[in-house]
A and B are shown apart, each in its own frame.
Chain A
Amino acid sequence: MAPTAIYTPSPSQITSEVKKSLMNASSPHEIVKGPVLAIGSLDTAQDGKQMLDRLIDGAISLAPSNYTSIHILLSPSEYTSLSPSLPSLLQQTLAGLTPLGTLHLLNLTAGFLSLPHELTLAGFMVIESVRDGPDARIVAQKPLPIATPLPSALPIRRKTDPAKQSSKKALWALSSPSTPTIDAEALLTAADRERPVPTCDPVIVGAPRRKKACKNCSCGLAELEAEEAKSGKVVLLDSDNAVEVEAGDMAKSLIAAAKAAPKATSSCGSCFLGDAFRCASCPYLGLPAFNPGEKVEIDFGMDDI
């Protein structure tokens, strides 16, 4: 799925158990009311796990500066396995928080000593940290935007070492084109490879359509398209007549139909404007715009098939 903003569950969707623990954990620093995001896991909440994985792998991203607080509630083993992806997750949550918004990491186990350091590196300011007990948690805050940047808000950057730089330049430029290459596909993680599920909205007959039918169409779009192709009409115009003709042997039927031409009438009077302004039942659909009263000619003599 293309990354789109995650719409936060409204507070009423958070189950009452989770809500209670959120209330207990809420920090006195929380000063602004606004959308709250809760991220849980299979072990602790209902459907948070997928979101967490997707956030980490960058498959989805949070709407920037959107949440006044984000609460993460995982089981101990999940926190442990989160370690390697922690920088990525922290980056994402930082971006998703409003300035002065808070990140709450709840239900932590004792082994989490490096968390404050990681949070600071990511740009957070740690405002509360409870190491032990059932309430072990860390609360960190996103600083205000930059009029006066706080040094701790910037990631630690390495100064460019000129000696190392020139040796790297050499490595990059002189590496021979015949050097064997790595297997590029091996770079991809399981989440990268996950087959995207194309969104297939139900077909509404007559409504504008985005997609063509897929090869294994199961929603009826393919049948609809086939029907349209068969019964598609062609319109021949002259002066103020419009004649409908079956698609098929174009040249012959057009000439024949021109002779037996009943008048077709427009229901809205905007036919001459062009497809952008024509109604769905306009006999002129597919034809260019024209000036009212003029004869529209299309050279049907060309090879049509």
Chain B
Amino acid sequence: MSTHGDHGTEEYQHSSASRELLILYATETGTAQETADRIARECRRVHFHCRVQSMDAYPPETLISEHLVIFVVSTTGWGAEPRAMSSLWNMLLRSDLPNDLFEDMDFCVFGLGDTAYEKFCWPAKKLSRRMQSLGGYEICSRGEGDEQHRMGVDGALDPWIEYLLEVLIQLYPLPHEQDNIPAGRPPPRVSLSNVGSDTSLNPDPLDEDTKFHTASVKCNKRITAEDWFQDVRHFEFSFEDDIKYNPGDVAVIHPSAPASEVDSFLVTMGWANVADNFFTVEHTMLDQTLPDHLPKFVSLRILFTRYLNFNAVPRRSFFQLLRYFAVDELEREKLDEFVSIEGADEMYDYCQRVKRTIWEVLSEFRSARIPREYVFDLFPPLRPREFSIASSIEFHPREIHLCVAIVRYRTKLKIHRKGVCTSYLSGLKLGDTLRIGLRKGFISLPTDPNTPVVCVGPGTGIAPMRAVIEQRIHKGHTNTTLYFGCRSAHKDQHYHTEWESHAEERKLRYRVACSRDGPEGVKRTYVQDLMKEDAQYIWTMLGQQQGILIISGSSNKMPTAVREAVRGAVERFGGRSNAEAVEYVAAMEREGRLIEECWS
């Protein structure tokens, strides 16, 4: 940690004009974004104006000119940083950066995580240590929000904010006595103005975003057996544009809520009569975030179809804000109870545990009169979702294929829970059009045709593997092995006819583990078990022939088990000790010979 006392005795006072700071957030499901908004609101109390930006929307080269930065960082998967952080994080990790690079920066970090995981808040912890090692001055110790706390993340956030404000006031004292900003209902972040009927010139910013291309639906087919519990779809989208992408790249899709649901919701809210009146949105509280790609003129129907999510599971801050709008005494009491410390468990049980949605909550708190100005404060943005592309552009020019499991499950609530984006995708009909964005992934394939590639992609992890395999075959690289895992050979062995056909033509070696097909009572077979059986082969491919290993799929225990299988092969057939084998696998990862493309 840098100690400023070593650098001489020049002092300077911060002028009151520059009471400005940057909040950079990296969110996975929207929580870190909401936390960033909250911190920005609280900073108003010490007369600071915040700029709030997502890490992947912030121009990284300007970071060097920032004097005061608050980082708000979520944890995803088993301790990884959110996607939005990866690019900036990799820049920060470069080994040639000097240790006084950020000596002019004051910063602090608030992490969001879950103590049920060993790597609790690791991305936040690593960021804090790295910024310190680059000369940054950490103005207050990092906060670590814990989902397991009775009050969730707020358990740590509430005291941390008070601490932060104390520090800010000390470091950046107010030049004279200023009135405290009164607590209570925050002002809405927007101001809405009705417009007449002439809304003809209303370009859709998504149409103009060049990272997105217009696609039409060519195929939407269920590839799991009809009587199987999971509905997995194979999608094919065709494009006019001559798009280019590589295996491992990702399709970005903005979902829309179904028209009938939006209609129903607007009726619940008492907005049916005004649903199609157009208005403009002026961003008045600039320190609060708004959804991306908002057009100039919108209506409530448009907002709730494409930009605001009424099917989100609300967090504590929603109930705090709703309290201001509830009129009925019973409802107000209940809301007070929910946001209190004593009522935290009850709120969790009522809402987050059963994944009750905002719409469902509002239909029980019927007295709430929500002014339309507050919709951007109450409803989270409808975020785009990402899906690994399951095709090679060389095999399928101007097309993108996806392999997507439709999210649908039961909790204690009688009505099924549904994934917003997968439900949207499942309802697409042939010929429907939509905008699809492309984001680069992290797979790079060997150029040498002799280098083996081993793919491990159980379940929907098969998606990027199909892209890899198709690309390799197109190039004439046939030294590819696929380990696929599913539950039932006849019900969910995705694309098995393709693998079997490639195998027959000696363009692929195919090994499949069907975990629930074994007899009752016998231990289930998974991809890692097949790899252990093939230990000698694994050593030949990855050790002797210096091949690469790509793992993709759900980031639960599978990647660890696969690494362990590789480690075992290195030890048994590579003549290494246990410790050397562990280091061998770690080295593979550093050299780019072990690539993990997993999601939570």
Which A residues form the contact surface with B (CB < 8 A)? Answer: 1-5, 58-59, 61, 63-65, 87-88, 91-92, 95, 117-118, 121, 123, 145-147, 149, 151, 153-160, 165, 168-169, 171-173, 175, 177, 179-185, 187-189, 192, 195-199, 207-212, 214, 232, 234-235, 273-277, 285-289, 298, 302-305
B9 at the binding interface (Cβ < 8 Å): yes
In the complex, the chain A residue whose C-beta lies closest to that of B146 is A2
The distance in angstroms between the C-alpha atoms of A151 and B9, with both chains bound, is 12
Given contacts A61-B159, A153-B170, A288-B360, contact A210 B64 (CB under 8 A): no
Given contacts A65-B166, A158-B10, A175-B91, contact A4 B156 (CB under 8 A): yes
- Interface residue from A187, A273, A304 paired with B130 (Cβ < 8 Å): A187
In the complex, the chain B residue whose C-beta lies closest to that of A94 is B170
Q: Which residues of A contact B207 (CB under 8 A)?
A: none
Q: Which residues of A contact B156 (CB under 8 A)?
A: 2-4
Q: Which residues of A contact B243 (CB under 8 A)?
A: none
On whether the beta carbons of B10 and A208 are closer than 8 Å, the reply is no
Q: Which residues of A contact B159 (CB under 8 A)?
A: 3-5, 61, 63-64
- Interface residue from A95, A145, A210 paired with B163 (Cβ < 8 Å): A95
On whether the beta carbons of B141 and A154 are closer than 8 Å, the reply is no
- Distance in angstroms from B8 CB to nearest chain A CB is 7
In the complex, the chain A residue whose C-beta lies closest to that of B346 is A208
On whether the beta carbons of A157 and B148 are closer than 8 Å, the reply is no
A-B pairs, 5 with minimum CB distance: A274-B364, A58-B141, A208-B349, A146-B173, A2-B146
Given contacts A146-B173, A181-B95, A210-B353, 19 further A-B contacts (CB under 8 A): A2-B145, A2-B156, A4-B159, A61-B160, A118-B5, A151-B11, A157-B10, A169-B61, A171-B96, A173-B64, A175-B91, A184-B93, A188-B129, A192-B122, A198-B116, A208-B346, A275-B356, A277-B364, A302-B416
Task: Tell me which residues from 273 to 314 in chain B have a Cβ below 8 Å from any Cβ of chain A.
Answer: none
In the complex, the chain A residue whose C-beta lies closest to that of B352 is A210
Q: Which of B33-41, B97-105, B180-188, B487-495 contacts A (4 or more CB under 8 A)?
A: B97-105
- Distance in angstroms from A175 CB to nearest chain B CB is 5
The distance in angstroms between the C-alpha atoms of A222 and B360, with both chains bound, is 28
B126 at the binding interface (Cβ < 8 Å): yes
Q: Which residues of A contact B356 (CB under 8 A)?
A: 275
On whether the beta carbons of A179 and B150 are closer than 8 Å, the reply is no
- Interface residue from B8, B101, B412 paired with A171 (Cβ < 8 Å): B101
Q: List 8 A-B contacts (CB under 8 A).
A: A147-B177, A157-B12, A182-B93, A192-B122, A208-B349, A209-B345, A210-B344, A235-B414
- Interface residue from B148, B176, B360 paired with A198 (Cβ < 8 Å): B148
Q: Which residues of A contact B61 (CB under 8 A)?
A: 169, 172-173
Interface string of B72-116 (1 = CB under 8 A from A): 000000000000000001110111111001011000000000011
In the complex, the chain B residue whose C-beta lies closest to that of A121 is B5
- Distance in angstroms from A249 CB to nearest chain B CB is 14
Interface string of B156-167 (1 = CB under 8 A from A): 100110110011
- Interface residue from A5, A155, A189, A289 paired with B366 (Cβ < 8 Å): A289
On whether the beta carbons of A146 and B140 are closer than 8 Å, the reply is no
B435 at the binding interface (Cβ < 8 Å): no
Q: Which residues of B contact A184 (CB under 8 A)?
A: 89, 93, 126, 130
B206 at the binding interface (Cβ < 8 Å): no
B259 at the binding interface (Cβ < 8 Å): no
The distance in angstroms between the C-alpha atoms of A92 and B11, with both chains bound, is 23
- Distance in angstroms from A305 CB to nearest chain B CB is 5
On whether the beta carbons of A287 and B414 are closer than 8 Å, the reply is yes
On whether the beta carbons of B155 and A146 are closer than 8 Å, the reply is no
- Interface residue from A123, A155, A192, A234 paired with B125 (Cβ < 8 Å): A192
B340 at the binding interface (Cβ < 8 Å): no
Given contacts A277-B330, A289-B366, contact A2 B129 (CB under 8 A): no
In the complex, the chain A residue whose C-beta lies closest to that of B173 is A146
On whether the beta carbons of A156 and B9 are closer than 8 Å, the reply is yes
- Interface residue from A2, A117, A157 paired with B149 (Cβ < 8 Å): A2
The distance in angstroms between the C-alpha atoms of A153 and B173, with both chains bound, is 10
The distance in angstroms between the C-alpha atoms of A196 and B393, with both chains bound, is 45
Q: Which residues of A contact B334 (CB under 8 A)?
A: 276-277
Interface string of B129-147 (1 = CB under 8 A from A): 1100100000011111110
- Interface residue from B63, B144, B364 paired with A3 (Cβ < 8 Å): B144
Q: Which residues of A contact B4 (CB under 8 A)?
A: 121, 155-158
On whether the beta carbons of B115 and A197 are closer than 8 Å, the reply is yes
In the complex, the chain A residue whose C-beta lies closest to that of B116 is A198
Q: Which residues of B contact A183 (CB under 8 A)?
A: 590
On whether the beta carbons of A156 and B95 are closer than 8 Å, the reply is no
Given contacts A2-B156, A87-B1, A288-B360, contact A181 B10 (CB under 8 A): no
The distance in angstroms between the C-alpha atoms of A189 and B130, with both chains bound, is 12
B118 at the binding interface (Cβ < 8 Å): yes
- Distance in angstroms from B155 CB to nearest chain A CB is 6
Q: Which residues of A contact B350 (CB under 8 A)?
A: 208, 275-276
On whether the beta carbons of B94 and A274 are closer than 8 Å, the reply is no
The distance in angstroms between the C-alpha atoms of A68 and B130, with both chains bound, is 35
The distance in angstroms between the C-alpha atoms of A171 and B92, with both chains bound, is 12
Q: Which residues of B contact A210 (CB under 8 A)?
A: 148, 150, 344-345, 348-349, 353
